Amino acid sequence: MTDSRHALIIANDRYTDQGLKKLEAPAQDAAALERVLHDPQIGDFEVEVVHNASADLMRRRIQGFFNERGRADTLLLHFSCHGLKSESGELYLAASDTEPPLLAATAVPSQFVRGCMSGTRAGRSVLFLDCCYGGAFSRGSSSVRASGDINVLESFAKDEPASGRGWAVITASDSMEYAFEGSKLAENSAPRPSLFTHAVVEGLETGEADLDADGNVSLDDLYEYVYRHVREQNPHQTPKKAAELQGELHLAHSRRGGIRIVAVPSPPSLQAAMKSEDFLTRQGAVTELRKRLQRRELPMAEGARQHLEEVARNDIQPIAELASDALSEIHLAPSPDHLDFGLAPRGSPPRKQSVTLHGPPLARHCLAQPNQAWLRVDPTRSGLDVHVDTATEGNLSGDIVLKGVADESVIHVKAVVGPAPEPGGPTEPEPQPSNDSTRPMPGTDGKQTPVVVGPSHIPPPPKTPPRAATHQPRTDRSSPSRRAPALAGAALALAVTAVITLVLAIQAAVAAVMERGDAGVYGNIEDNVREHGALTPLIVCLITGAVALVVGAFARHDLGARREQYTSKTATGTHTLTAIAKGLAIPALILAVLAGITYLVGSSEW
């Protein structure tokens, strides 16, 4: 978030007056809300919490919160306390020292809060009221009396702000409805979150409140999410909203991102294999899911990913590790993840650099969200192009957040825009028609439109005349590669050679030992070993075994780094060959090393 953002949370749960019920939710709610609002990856607010304050302290903190603000500021004020109505019909917010018969002196009137909001110069002000209006009336209390319904929104939405761009009020409930804590009003119960504030925290923290999947949680998104959540939990509580805003107010970033793929479940037979009691059957199911994870059909791949996540969470360690290893192949991997555009004159045509996204189609399917108005993203066949607008002079620094189905990544962008060349000077560039220069950049209001990047959103390749194509070298990245299978085959051949030479060395060593035994006290084991040539195949075994492991490692590295160039069949075959080579080379090396150590140690004794 680029604006200055401040939040004040007022939570009162303990009251001196016995007529006011003790509330269980405010302290817990305040801590949870402070956490998500302060998180730089979610709300990025500077947060202050006031807990169980007196009426005088509440008024001081509220007025100070709204004073000395500018149009770039966004303010959020949250109340979690009792709400009381005076005999004249005015709404008051209860402080820890509130005495219901003396509301004007010991509580905070809604008119005071409304006046602070109206007088602030902040660009936008948001008020959340999680107040238990009905809960203020305890059984048998003579100090607190109900005096008819009260419309909460009317207590705040009467005056438009004197300056700034707008205001909004969201209440947990209206009129004399109860603002429920958990499943009931709090009274001698264990701490439980309020339905309203819990929904706010959950929607922001999980990103589920990002209803339009644009990477940001707007005020409208959050209200709709909270309304549904509260009404589902308790039909007797109805959150309300009133607002006078210019444009859309983004309250938080969406941590989960906006990519949503409707998954196609794996076949029932495969799901049954996942739950089989047989270890090898479940292992085979993970291997098949890994293949489906590489498919170009994204719904099918997403279904496999969800099943693999289930296996990684619930199965025993060996199977869970296989599933986790498969899931690691679809993490976002932009290359490069830092772009430096260097120095550019102000007003020059937009600069462009390319970023490659590695991995299978599901890994390359993501939402790209620039956080600065001078950044623009265009999808390409291999990833995305990043454009920098040079209209604003200065040191520019921004990020492009990539949000995929499994995780997210960030591309950091820097540029320095210097002064424009002197008119008519020798360095002034001639105006050049360009697709980049004629295409509008994002607006200066900071609102960005996310771009979907991935196999289903790449532009079609330009048509090339057939004659020209016969003279062009083939550079299509999607053409299948044979490097990894070739390396895997070489690794297997070397491993087999290591095993064969180890067998020859053992045969020669056995013959040398038997001949040494026949010679009696006059024999020499070193002469027998040299005579039968046991050392040469042993040395060849050590060399070929070690090289087999190195070549196999190169094959697996190439397969992982250029996954998009290999079909699922080729990838599976490569994994199989390298696994067999490793299984042959490691035992051969171990036996060869032990044989060599035995010869060096025992030759002097024989």
Q: Where are the alpha helices (DSSP H) in 234-297?
A: 268-274, 279-293
Residue 51 maps to a domain: yes
Q: What is the pLDDT of residue 5?
A: 92
Above pLDDT 90, what percent of the chain? 20
Q: Please say if the pLDDT value at position 499 is more than 50.
A: yes
Tell me if 65 sits within 8 A of 113, measured CB to CB.
no
Domain end among 330, 347, 376: 330
Q: What is the pLDDT of residue 485?
A: 86
**Does one domain contain both 233 and 307?**
no
Residue 73 maps to a domain: yes
Query: Which of these, 202, 150, 192, lies nearest to 171 by C-alpha position?
Result: 150
Mean pLDDT score, 534-559: 87
Q: Is the peptide bond before 462 cis (omega within 30 degrees of 0)?
A: no
Most confident of 117-121, 370-374, 566-570: 117-121
**Does one domain contain both 490 and 575?**
yes
Which SS3 state, helix, strand or coil, does residue 528 take? helix
Which SS3 state, helix, strand or coil, does residue 579 take? helix
Q: Where are the alpha helices (DSSP H) in 339-482?
A: 361-364, 435-438, 466-469
Q: Please say if the pLDDT value at position 401 is more than 50.
A: yes
Residue 261 maps to a domain: no
Residues 6+ apart with CB under 8 A from 308: 286, 289, 290, 293, 323, 326, 327
Residue 288 CB coordination number (10 Å)? 18
In the chain, DSSP finds a helix count (H) and a strand count (E) of 17, 19
**Does one domain contain both 131 and 184?**
yes
Q: Which helix (H) or strand (E) holds 28?
A: helix 25-38
Tell me if 585 sits within 8 A of 549, measured CB to CB.
yes
Q: Please say if the pLDDT value at position 406 is more than 90.
A: no
**Does one domain contain both 193 and 151?**
yes
Above pLDDT 70, what percent of the chain? 76
Residues 6+ apart with CB under 8 A from 184: none
Residue 200 maps to a domain: yes
**Does one domain contain both 245 and 172?**
yes
End-to-end CA, the chain: 79
Question: Following DSSP, what letter does each residue of 184-241 receive, concatenated?
Answer: B--SS-----BHHHHHHHHHHHHSTT-TT-SSEEEHHHHHHHHHHHHHHH-TT---EE
Number of domains within the chain: 4
Residue 201 maps to a domain: yes
Residues 287-297: tens digit of each pLDDT: 999 999 888 88
Torsion of CA 501, 507, 513, 516, to 10 degrees: -100
Cα 450 from Cα 356, distance rounded (Å): 18
Q: What is the pLDDT of residue 238?
A: 86
Residues 6+ apart with CB under 8 A from 562: 358, 481, 484
Q: What is the pLDDT of residue 430?
A: 43
**Does one domain contain both 387 and 412?**
yes
Q: Based on C-alpha coordinates, what's the Rg of the chain?
A: 35
Residues 255-284: tens digit of each pLDDT: 555 566 778 888 889 889 888 999 899 999
**Does one domain contain both 234 and 100?**
yes
3-state secondary structure 398-440: EEEEEEECCCEEEEEEEEEEECCCCCCCCCCCCCCCCHHHHCC
Cα 522 from Cα 501, distance rounded (Å): 30
Q: What is the pLDDT of residue 580?
A: 92
Mean pLDDT score, 477-488: 68
Which 8-state DSSP code applies to residue 181? B
Q: What is the pLDDT of residue 575?
A: 83
Domain end among 206, 227, 253: 253
Strand order in the sheet with 383-388: 334-335, 351-357, 383-388, 375-379
Residues 114-131: tens digit of each pLDDT: 899 888 999 899 999 888
The two structure tokens encoding residue 2: 């680029």
Q: What angle do CA 130, 131, 135 make, to 5 degrees?
A: 135
Residue 467 maps to a domain: no
Cα 530 from Cα 475, distance rounded (Å): 55
Q: What is the pLDDT of residue 302?
A: 87
Residues 186-245: tens digit of each pLDDT: 343 334 568 899 999 988 888 888 877 667 888 999 999 999 988 888 888 888 888 888
**Does one domain contain both 118 and 189?**
yes
**Does one domain contain both 37 and 139?**
yes
The CATH number covering residue 352 comes to 2.60.40.10
Residue 113 CB coordination number (10 Å)? 24
Cα 249 from Cα 74, distance rounded (Å): 9
Q: Please say if the pLDDT value at position 2 is more than 80.
A: no
Query: Which of these, 205, 224, 221, lies nearest to 213 by C-alpha position?
Result: 221
Q: pLDDT band for 254, please (50, 70, 90 cuts).
A: confident
**Does one domain contain both 406 and 523?**
no
Q: What is the pLDDT of residue 147?
A: 43
**Does one domain contain both 354 and 299?**
no
Q: Cβ-count burial of 374 within 10 angstroms (0-12 exposed, 13-18 middle, 19+ buried)? A: buried
Q: Please say if the pLDDT value at position 146 is more than 80.
A: no
Strand-pair category, 408-418 with 375-379: unpaired
**Does one domain contain both 233 and 364?**
no
Most confident of 171-180, 324-333, 427-436: 324-333
Question: Following DSSP, what letter does each residue of 45-101 receive, concatenated?
Answer: -EEEEEES--HHHHHHHHHHHHSS--TTEEEEEEEEEEEEE-TTS-EEEEPTT--GG
Q: Which helix (H) or strand (E) holds 587?
A: helix 568-602
The CATH number covering residue 29 comes to 3.40.50.1460
Residue 174 maps to a domain: yes
Which SS3 state, helix, strand or coil, does residue 518 take? helix
Residue 465 maps to a domain: no
Full residue range of the structural domain in which residue 300 is found:
268-330
Mean pLDDT score, 397-416: 86
Query: What does pLDDT average to over the chain?
Result: 78
Return the exposure string of 317-331: e unless at least 16 CB atoms fall within 10 Å of the residue's CB, then b: eebbebbbebbebbe
Q: What is the pLDDT of residue 457?
A: 53
The two structure tokens encoding residue 379: 């999808």
